[in-house]
Structure 1
Amino acid sequence: MKNLRLKLIGFGLIGLLFASCVNDLDTKPVVELSLDQLLANDPQAIEGLLSKMYGTFALSGPNGPGSADISGPDPGETAFLRGIINLQDFTADAIKNRWGDDGLDQLTTTKGWTPNNKFFRYLYDRVYYTVPQTNNILKVLKEGVDVPNEEQYISELRFLRSLAYYYMIDCFGKGVIVTENDLNSTTAVPESNRTQLFNFVESELIDIEGKISTTNTYGRANKSVVRMLLAKLYLNAEVYTGTARYNDAAIYIKKVIDEGGYTLAPNFLANFSGDNNTSPEIIFPLLADAVSSQSYGNTTYIVNGSLSSDTMTLSNYGALQGWGGHRATKAWYGLFGSTPTALDASPDSRAHLFWKNGHTYEMNDYKIWTNGYPAIKFRNSNLSGGSGSTDFSGTDFPLFRLADAYLMYAECAVRGATGTTTSQALTYVNDIRDRAGATPITLTELNLDFIIDERGRELNFEGHRRSDLIRFGKFAGNTYIWPWKGGVAGGQAISANYNLFPIPTTALQANPNLTQNPGY
């Protein structure tokens, strides 16, 4: 059994419970001791507090799969990672969900989005749970309670706050900026637009980069993790602010590649198996454990949701449950072969990470399980050595990994970023393809169309696809059509307002300074 690398300690043991802050950005933890008293009595408690904040990105709550930090009828639905998969992957081309319950149809068909959809609210509320809770801890650390290695803890907390804000920028394009200095305010916080949010996160990450440790425990932020997020911010800057920042993206992605010490895992599946904590490629994972951090919202959602005992053998993937929900479309596996025969003949090992038996290549009805091929990229079984089957997944989620950094470099190079060369970009791309057994490409083939396709082949189901399609101008409109785009099997154009999600009704009600995004 894989042990967590972070101490996910029982908060009841230290008398600490965090309250939800769906509608109150000034919410403070409910504690038997105040935070400053707790840390003064036991400075090592900072490890548990920090672990809790890391856990907000993978777990629904601190007390097992039935607990939730934010409100919702099903705790498992409220987890941050589940929200990222729902909003970044189901709304794009590669993965569709068939359940259709309570708003999932809106996501999987990119049609009929409303501010009352609970899945928009879950991600929005999760951001504004994570941000104030990091603020609470930061305030105590900065106001006189001393703990060993304090600057490192402060840097990690500020990174986690920035990561939460990054998804606010990407998904909603507006929000409110609150820091530890706003905790005692009773005034509704003014709305910040996308550029203001961008500038805040940029300034935070630049400052953190100079202070955070170069190395850290697996699962915690280090200098490369901060640089990776900064590079992603700059890579999408033209979408977020109207001004391209590919030169800046290249600076930081080169630092990740040149100074981080990461290497491609020899086997692609080393990044997506139950023992992926041993992969030399993963830069920043969201941790999972089948016993000590059970959740319906971490990779359990991806693994179990992609399996069904009706057509598959669950034990092959280390699972005891198959929920029969997620299937890839030909927009993903079609990147390897335009017909079932061509897909079977592909030399690319990534082409064979789809379950085809009993399923159809075409997804004529996304609500029928056997329409489309389930992706078996993620699994709960170990790549090396034996492993049993469990109800919950112990596979970590690779939020950042080196192959993504290589493809980000290649994109910057093709877009003409200073400090990059297309020859180096070609080397990085072919390193990725060589690992998969795919045919190397030539320099004449290295263009933006190839890069967006290769990002799909390499990175689909990892929470990037919607953002990638928007950056490449392929999400809204009719430039690129995929199955069930716009609610029809063959796909159709969608409005440009779908490049942003609607601000949830509950958020608008909680803060009169917030305004709705256009088109909703």
Structure 2
Amino acid sequence: MKNFNKKLIVGFAALALCISSCTEDLNTEPKVELSLENLLARDPQAIEGLLSKMYGTFALSGPNGPGSSDITGPDPGETAFLRNILNLQDFTADGMKNRWGDDGLDQLTTTSNWDENNKFFRYLYDRAYYVIPQTTNIILALRNVDVSNEAQITSELRFIRALAYYYLIDCFGKGVIVNENNYGSTDPLPEATRTQLFNYVESELLAVIQGLPQTNGYGRANKSVARMLLAKLYMNAGVYTGTQKYNEALTNINLVINEGGYTLASEFRMNFSGDNNTSPEIIFPLIADPVVSQSFGNTTYIVNGSTSTETMTNIPQNFGTTDSWTGHRATKAWYGLYGDLNTTTDKRALFWRTGHNYEMNDYKAWADGYPSTKFRNTNFSGTSTATSFSGTDFPLFRLADAYLMYAECVLRGATGGSQGQALTYVNQIRTRANASTIAASELTLDFILDERARELNLEGHRRTDLIRFGKFTGSSYLWPWKGGAQNGVSIPSTYNLFPVPQSALQANPNLTQNPGF
């Protein structure tokens, strides 16, 4: 059961009493109606609700249901963290495209005409700087009150803050460091470079691993969750800092695999169904619930956005949703990786093809491209009831990803692993998918990049993967509608980072814009 999720309402209510958003001015302490210290002194158990709220902000938009938002935006549903991770990581890449033509989203899906006024850049940036000061505020409050399990809760809050910083590093490459040492400063904080942010997050994760338990409640950070994030930081260190850290990445991946206690789910689809909280593979989920924590920004965005009554039948029965948004389709850059879809045995080739065209001649035409049916709101085991909001959790980290990271590290020369073990892990993933196993000679970096697409697309990793492999910008790899052209064109290297939002530049004169924008 997703018991931790049910505490989100308590968390929203408690936090609403204490603090208001400080994203408009990161150097101003949040307004206080009832101090956190007073709240926790009255009710030490309130810390569980506050902690739940901070976890929930990665999947939900705001404190009062799907029509509310913690940050400013005309459409609250668009402001959710997960929705924007998908927009910026998957729709900017090769596998997925959106057809709505909305200003902002259209520029992401065509990797063209990016500028500092795109609302989706601002939503992700503002959401990160909602999480960062709020977690810091709670950490500081805990220093002045006595609550049970305080050390572990502080470590969890520091992990949540590090996760928000990770996306700033990956997407924008700069920002300001807000922590216990400068929280509430009235002076504009100095700009932190990508390397400075990297070093700070690395130090935070190394510290919190010691304070986190080996196992924790569902949806909460444990040692493996923090190590997985640290491994991802190290995997991309060459991009982030210019210094590769594949040895360090592999060290942490080995610990996740060998000590985490996770196993591959027996069936691939178990990880993406309404009862995926029972999967033994998911290391860290972003929790969804169709009643308790409704959101237009969690997997509702994927399930509803990928279905349409125009071409698809029996949607409530097959996909568990009563609302279809006619929005997202995959391109041949994803489904083409499975070979002939009429004959493939690969169970990961989950696409709706009836009424749709293989070629995406027009990315705004619903019939062009195949909707992905990877995520659904129906239970894998037993019966389920269709709802308008999704109850399928989002697997931000899972074991199959760790296996592929292991293989990539070995192929890139990291010590602490072996080619034989890398091949075993990759073939375990492929066997689970009913795909043919590969020989040692076939295990190359190009194969790993393609296998990551087959296994992990639509899970918020693809843009980062393409950048790490040198395939995102330039012309060495073209995909449908890259650069706004049907067959794809080269895009400038400056697109490896998103522009810093204009609102952030105006709020802090110490921030500078990324090159090319």
Fold shared per TM-score above 0.5: yes
C-alpha spacing 1:13/1:48, structure 2 compared with 1 (3 Å): closer
Report what 1:323 is aligned to.
325
Structure 2 residue identity aligned to 1:443: A
Contact 2:9 2:292 in 1 (8 A): no
Query: What amino acid sits opposite 1:153 in the alignment?
Result: I
- The match for 1:70 is 71
Query: What pairs up with 1:285-434 in 2 under 5 angstroms?
Result: 285-312=285-312, 313-315=314-316, 316-337=318-339, 342-351=340-349, 353-434=350-431
Q: Pick from 501, 505, 513: which aligns with 2:502?
A: 505
- Change in 2 beyond 3 A, CA 1:317/1:2: farther
Tell me how far 1:212 sits from its aligned partner: 1.0
Counterpart residue number, 2:190: 190
Q: Distance in 1 between matches of 2:482 and 2:219?
A: 36
User: Which range moved further: 21-30 or 315-324?
Assistant: 21-30
Aligned to 1:150: 150
Deviation per residue, 1:277-334 (Å, 9 max, x gap): 0000000000000000000000000110000011113111000001010000000000
Alignment of structure 1 residues 216-227 onto 2, 5 Å: 216-227=216-227
Query: 1:475 and 1:157 mapped to 2: Cα distance?
Result: 33
Within-5 A mapping of 1:185-264: 185-264=185-264
Partner of 1:268: 268
Query: Partners in 1 of 2:183 and 2:6 — Cα distance?
Result: 28
Amino acid of the residue matched to residue 387 of structure 2?
T
Q: Offset of 1:12 from its aligned partner? A: 3.7
| Per-residue deviation, residues 447-482 of structure 1 (Å, max 9, x unmatched) | 000000000000000000000000000000011000
1:130 equivalenced with 2:126 (yes/no): no
- The Cα of 1:6 is off from its aligned counterpart by 5.4
How far residue 416 of structure 1 moved from its aligned partner, in angstroms, is 1.1
1:274–1:238 CA distance, 2 compared to 1 (3 A)? same
Secondary structure (helix, strand or coil) at the match of 1:320 reads: coil
* Equivalent residue letter for 1:319: T
- Partner SS, residue 202 of structure 2: helix
Deviation, structure 1 residue 31: 5.0
Tell me, in whole angstroms, the C-alpha distance in 2 between the residues paired with 1:276 and 1:3: 14
Question: CA offset at residue 13 of structure 1?
Answer: 6.6
| RMSD over aligned Cα atoms | 1.2
Contact 1:6 1:219 (8 Å CA) reproduced = no
Gaps of 5+ in 2: none
- CA offset digits 1:470-513 (Å, max 9, x no partner): 00000000110000001010001110000000000000000000
**What is the rounded CA distance, in whole Å, between the counterparts of 2:478 and 2:186 in structure 1?**
47
Question: How far apart are the structure 2 equivalents of 1:22 and 1:101?
Answer: 24
- Map Cα deviations across residues 375-426 of structure 1 (whole Å, 9 max, x no partner): 0000000000000100000000000000000000000011110001010000
CA gap of 1:18–1:427, structure 2 versus 1, over 3 A, is: same
| Alignment check: 8 A CA contact 2:14 2:50 kept | no
Name the % identity.
Answer: 70
Give, in whole Å, the separation in 2 of the partners of 1:21 and 1:397.
27
Residue 8 of structure 2 aligns to a residue whose secondary structure is coil
The whole-number CA distance in structure 1 between the counterparts of 2:153 and 2:6 is 13
Residue 488 of structure 2 corresponds to residue 491 of structure 1: yes
Structure 2: distance between partners of 1:3 and 1:305: 27
Quick one: distance in 2 between partners of 1:21 and 1:442?
Answer: 54
Contact 1:4–1:288 under 8 Å retained in 2: no
Q: Name the SS of the counterpart of 1:283 in structure 2.
A: strand
Shift of 1:14: 8.0
| 1:250-287 C-alpha deviation (Å, 9 max, x unpaired) | 00000000000000000101100000000000000000
The alpha-carbon distance between structure 1 residues 425 and 56, as it changes in their structure 2 partners (threshold 3 A), is: same
Residue 284 of structure 1 aligns to a residue whose secondary structure is: strand
Q: Output the amino acid matched with 2:257.
A: I
CA distance in 1, matches of 2:36, 2:103: 38
Q: Which amino acid aligns with 2:186?
A: T
Q: Aligned pair 1:8/2:5, yes or no?
A: no
Give the Å deviation of 1:145: 0.9
Q: Is this contact kept in 1: 2:13–2:63, CA < 8 A?
A: no
- CA–CA separation in structure 2 for the residues paired with 1:208 and 1:110: 37
How many Å separate the matches in 1 of 2:487 and 2:246?
Answer: 34
Quote how far apart the aligned CAs of 1:21 are. 1.9
- Amino acid corresponding to residue 70 of structure 1 in structure 2: I
Partner in structure 1 of residue 81 of structure 2 = 80
Secondary structure of the residue aligned to 2:217 is coil
| AA aligned opposite 1:449 | D
Give the Cα separation in 2 of the matches to 1:458 and 1:12. Answer: 38
